[in-house]
Structures are given as C-alpha cells and as structure tokens.
Amino acid sequence: MVVAVGVISLLYVKPIYQMAGPQTILWVYDLTVVLSALAGVGLSFLLWRSFSRGEVLKRIWGSLTLGLLLWTIGEVIWSYGQLLVGDHLPYPSLADIAWLAGYIAVAVGLLLRYRSLQMTPSNGWRRAVVWVFVTLATVIVAIVAVPIIATSGPVSFLEGMVNILYPIGDLAVAIGALLIALMLIGGALSVPWGLVAAGCFCVAVSDLLYAFAVWHGAYQVAPVGGINLLTFVVNVLYAASYLITDTGLYMQARLQRVI
Amino acid sequence: MTVLPHSMGFLFTNALGEVVFTDRGFLRLTKRSLVRPPIAEALHATLGIEERSACQFLQDLTHRGSIDRPALSIRTTTGSLRPMLAAGVAVFTGRENYIGADIQLSPSLAEVKTLARPQTHSDVLDNYAKQALEEARLLKTRTFLQVYLAVHIDAIQVLLARLGGLDMRDALERIINSTAIGHRIPTIMQDGHLEFGDRTVPLGAYQTLFQTAVDYAVNAIGRRMVAEEMQTIDRRIDPGVLKAAMLLGLTVGVDE
C-alpha cells in the first residue's frame, strides 16, 4: 500500500510527469483508481459470500459491497469521460449519482455494523469522535458550504447541492467507520476497521479539498507543465483512500479466513 | 491418578499479550480474589515475572506454535514465588493471523501428564473442559450442564475479546445478565465468570443463555468462527454431557 501510494506520488514529480506526458499520467492514475476500487468490491464480495443467509454480517457486507460497487461505477464513468470522451462530464453527472448512492449503501452497512456490536464507545473516545466531527463539520461549512451558498445562483444551485452532499456523505461514512474501529480497539478486528476508517478520512479530506479547488478554479485535470500542489494532494489522497481501504478489507478477509 | 480440581490454571491472552480471561484455577494458584480477575493486564504483570521473560515466552510461542516451560516461577499476590509448569499454545485464525496465546499452568509434572500436554488450541480447550467437569464431579458445586454452558461461554468470551476487544467481551456479559434478569434466571456473569444461583436452574434457562451468547457472537464475528469454536469443544467433551446438552438444544444455532 505504501509503495503504491509512493509510486502514484512519483508520477507527479515534474521530470517523470513531463517525460510520460499528461495524458499517460492521467491514464495510469485513473486506471489505478478504478482497479483499486474494483479490488475493494472483490474483497467485500468475498466477505459477503463467506457469511450465511440470515446473518446480520451478510446484510452488512452486502450493503458495503453495493456501496463500493456504486463508487466503482462512478469511477468508471468519470474515467471514461476523462480518458475516452475527452470532454468534461456535465456536473452533476451519472458518476455523481452513482457516488452519492454509494454513500447511502455504505452508510447503511456501517450503521448495521455499529448496531450489531451492541457496544458504546467509552466516554473518552466519544469525546474524541465528537471533536473530530465538530472540526470536520466546521471546516466543511467554512470552506465549502458558505462560499457555495454565497455565490450560487439559480443555475449552479444543483451543482452547489452536490458539492455539499459529498462532504456530508464523507463525514457520515468516516465517523461511522471511526466509531466501529474505536469500539473494537484491543481486538484483531480493530486494525482492518481502523484502516477502513483511515481510508474514509482520506477520501473525506480529498473531496473537501477537491470541492474547494473546483470552486476556486484551482483543480487541474491534465495540465502540460505539471499539476499544482492542491491537485497533487487531492489526487494522491484520493488514490490512497482506496488503497488503504483495500488493505483493511484484505486484512478483514484474512481474519475471516475468506482468502 | 486423580487430578485435583484446583491444581491447574488457565490463562488466555490477546495478540498484544494482554490477559483477556483467567479461570478460577489460575486465580487460586496465584491467591487472587475471585472477584477481581487480572483482565486487561500485561502477561508479565499477571504472572509476576520479568517483562523480558514474558515477551520471550510469547515470541517463542508464536514461532513454534506451542512450547513448554518446565519451571516458571510465578509470583502470587502474597509475594511468594511458586514454580510452575507452563504450557503455551499460539492461536491463529487462518494460517498466519496470530490472535492470542492459551497458557496452561500446573504446579507439578505429574498433573500435566494426566491431561494431554497441549499442542493446539483444541487441546487447551479440551483440558479446560475436562478440568471444569472434574471439578464439578468432585466438588458438586455445579451440574455438568452448568459446566457445559460455562465452558462454552468462556470460549465465546475469549474469542470475542481476541477479535473484538475487551469491550466486546463486556458487551457479552451485559447482554447475558440482562437476559438472565429478563427471564428470571438465577444466574449472573461477573468479571467473566458465570455464577449459577442454584444447582436446579430450569432446563430451558440453559438454552436461553446459550442462545443469547451464541446470537451475540454470531452477530459480532460471524457464524462460522463461532461454530468452529463450539465444535472444537464438543468434539472432545464427555459424550454423556454432550448428549444431554444436545437434547436441551445447546448446540442449536451454530451449526450450518
């Protein structure tokens, strides 16, 4: 995972970026993201298959698999638009619908998992989660919601709504995964769930920065001279989120003796 | 040779080397209070040995799968040193995922010889069940069915603590206790130990408590893992006890 994230970071080092060309780098990056998302679906599917009918874990992993599949569909549509059509997708697009629907399925899976544990995090952890929530929510409001509401006209209302829904979905999923990981602390399952939570936080930060960058016109898809720092952080964090989540799912699958 | 019911002690750790469960035998061997088991303590603190020795013991265990220490001096709560034979087994899920150590302690070699020297997690559970049944037979404090239920719930709580942490084990205890109260079953689980108020608990109560524990564990970690743990005990437990348990439905709910 660390190596893969390192390789993705290296793609954006100026000499490598210029030697390979922006289109090649875009292809490598998009394929990496799509394949990582697909790997997550595969691992999640194997976990789903390992539980028997009627088990709550079957429903949990079914819901998570569906969510990851919808995210993968979103990635495929997005990459298709970027790589093959060559024109920017409309915003919001089918990819956004798939991504946002994916949040619902993943959130349902996490909620079921949380309830199946019948545990409550200790007061200390609860306070920590509340602080994380408040901090992230404040950042979302400050750098995404307020500027969007202040500047959005009737035409860009839908665009603005989608921009707000992403961080809300990210926050819900990240907090849910974090709560589960915290409750499992000390047990072998805490590591895979911790990685899933870390992946969710990476995507949350990446989406937040992406919304910020897009709104200010700072996001660059495939510029000739090399990408700016903000685009670099958004892209690397986004790819890392899938790779980290995949590692967590892989560990979970090994613990459950699925692979 | 008859094994004295209080002669052996069992201790279970998680992958971090923290104690997740000790049986009453261990508490007696180390002269600990029955109401304050050393849960969540580091292994070296519980055994009263040097941290380096405990780490070496666990390291050897994970490398070899199972080990014996012929003379491990364990400190009791009164401060005295008690030489014991320690047999440890590494527990894995799958081939490589180490989730904890089972440690069997005995004051003399003769006692270890009467019970099989454990090589696997299954051997330890078998010895644990045998000792609990022997204790019930000699002391007549619990019925065999009560022992059967307690041994299975002990195995479930160790598995939950190893996979889901001690909070998950605490949740199991809370759920069992609220079920017992709700069904007016004179049973309480305290600090990991199931206490029966009476030897004449209604037969249906065993099924209720067993199913409660199994249902929670299945929801938390999955049916297959729970079933395998239960079947590991059932494969080698006294056939008469198993038959009675099966008649009461104490195996229902975990079989595929």
Residues B224, A188: C-beta atoms closer than 8 Å: no
pTM of the model: 0.93
| Both structure tokens of A197 | 């939570």
Residue of A nearest to B18 (CA): A186
Nearest residue, CB atoms, A51 vs list B93, B97, B223: B223
Position B1 scores a pLDDT of: 44
Residues B223, A56: C-beta atoms closer than 8 Å: no
| Both structure tokens of A119 | 């545990």
Residues B167, A183: C-beta atoms closer than 8 Å: yes
Sign of the dihedral through C-alpha A12, A16, A19, A20: negative
CA dist., res. B153 & res. B176, Å (int): 10
Per residue in A166-214, pLDDT (tens digit) is 888 999 999 999 999 999 999 999 999 999 999 999 999 998 888 888 8
CA dist., res. A58 & res. A60, Å (int): 5
Residue of A nearest to B97 (CA): A255
DSSP conformational letter for B118 = P
Please answer whether residues B159 and B14 qualify as being in contact, where contact means their C-beta atoms are separated by less than 8 angstroms: no
Residue of A nearest to B19 (CA): A186
Position A89 scores a pLDDT of: 76
Question: If you average pLDDT over residues A18-34, what whole number do you get?
Answer: 93
Residue for token pair 């580091």: B42
- Interface residue B224 vs chain A (CB under 8 A): yes
| Both structure tokens of A142 | 């400050």
Q: Which of B166, B179, B221 has the most A C-beta neighbours within 10 Å, making it the best mutation to test the interface with A? A: B221
Nearest residue, CB atoms, B165 vs list A57, A187, A256: A187
Position A15 scores a pLDDT of: 87
Does residue B244 register a pLDDT over 80? yes
Burial class (CB in 10 A: 0-12, 13-18, 19+), A90: exposed
Total beta-carbon pairs less than 8 A apart between chain A and chain B? 87
Question: If you average pLDDT over residues A24-37, what whole number do you get?
Answer: 95
Angle between helices A229-255 and A2-11 (to 10 degrees): 160
Residues B97, A254: C-beta atoms closer than 8 Å: yes
Residue for token pair 């849960």: B39
Position B203 scores a pLDDT of: 85
Residue of B nearest to A113 (CA): B220
Residues A257, B161: C-beta atoms closer than 8 Å: no
A2-9 contacts, C-beta under 8 A, 24 or more apart: A4/A32, A4/A239, A4/A243, A5/A236, A5/A239, A5/A240, A5/A243, A8/A32, A8/A235, A8/A236, A8/A239, A8/A240, A9/A232, A9/A236
Position B26 scores a pLDDT of: 92
- Shortest Cα–Cα distance, B2 to chain A (Å): 38
A176: Cα separation from own chain's centroid: 13
Per residue in A37-80, pLDDT (tens digit) is 999 999 999 999 999 999 999 999 999 999 999 999 999 999 99
Position B110 scores a pLDDT of: 62
Does residue A152 register a pLDDT over 80? no
A259: Cα separation from own chain's centroid: 24
Report which of residues A199 and B76 the model is more confident about: A199
Strand order in the sheet with B9-13: B19-22, B9-13, B97-106, B81-93, B66-75
Does residue A87 register a pLDDT over 70? no
Nearest residue, CB atoms, A52 vs list B16, B161, B223: B223
Residues A254, B161: C-beta atoms closer than 8 Å: no
A19-22 contacts, C-beta under 8 A, 24 or more apart: A22/A222, A22/A223, A22/A224
- The HSE-up count of residue B61 (CA atoms within 13 Å, CB side) is 30
Position A42 scores a pLDDT of: 98
DSSP conformational letter for B65 = S
Residues A117, B164: C-beta atoms closer than 8 Å: yes
- Shortest Cα–Cα distance, B15 to chain A (Å): 7
A187 chain-B contacts, CB cut-off 8 A? 14, 160-166, 168
Question: If you average pLDDT over residues B107-124, what whole number do you get?
Answer: 76
Sign of the dihedral through C-alpha A3, B98, A121, A71: positive
CA dist., res. B223 & res. B82, Å (int): 41
Nearest residue, CB atoms, A190 vs list B18, B160, B165: B165
What DSSP string describes chain A? -HHHHHHHHHHTSHHHHHHH-HHHHHHHHHHHHHHHHHHHHHHHHHHHHHSPTT-HHHHHHHHHHHHHHHHHHHHHHHHHIIIII-SPPPSS-HHHHHHHHHHHHHHHHHHHHHHHHT----HHHHHHHHHHHHHHHHHHIIIIIHHHHHH--STTHHHHHHHHHHHHHHHHHHHHHHHHHHHTTTSTTHHHHHHHHHHHHHHHHHHHHHHHHHHTT---SS-SS---HHHHHHHHHHHHHHHHHHHHHHHHHHHTT--
Question: If you average pLDDT over residues A138-147, what whole number do you get?
Answer: 81
What percent of chain A is predicted at pLDDT more than 70? 97
DSSP conformational letter for B131 = H
> What are chain B's domains?
9-139 (3.30.450.20), 144-247 (no CATH)
Partner residues linked to B105 by β-bridges? B9, B86
Q: Which of B122, B100, B135, B101 is nearest to B8 (CA)?
A: B135
Residues B225, A55: C-beta atoms closer than 8 Å: no
Does residue B252 register a pLDDT over 60? no
Least confident of A219-223, A228-232, B128-132, B185-189: A219-223
Q: How many CB atoms lie within 10 A of CB A164?
A: 18
Residues A185, B165: C-beta atoms closer than 8 Å: yes
| Both structure tokens of B58 | 């666990």
Residues B99, A118: C-beta atoms closer than 8 Å: no
B169 chain-A contacts, CB cut-off 8 A? none
Domain ranges of chain A: 2-255
Does residue B224 register a pLDDT over 50? yes
Nearest residue, CB atoms, B216 vs list A50, A51, A118: A118
Residue for token pair 């499992």: A184
Please answer whether residues B19 and B12 qualify as being in contact, where contact means their C-beta atoms are separated by less than 8 angstroms: yes
Residue of A nearest to B161 (CA): A187
| Helix-, strand-, coil-residue percentages of chain B, each rounded to 5 | 50, 20, 30
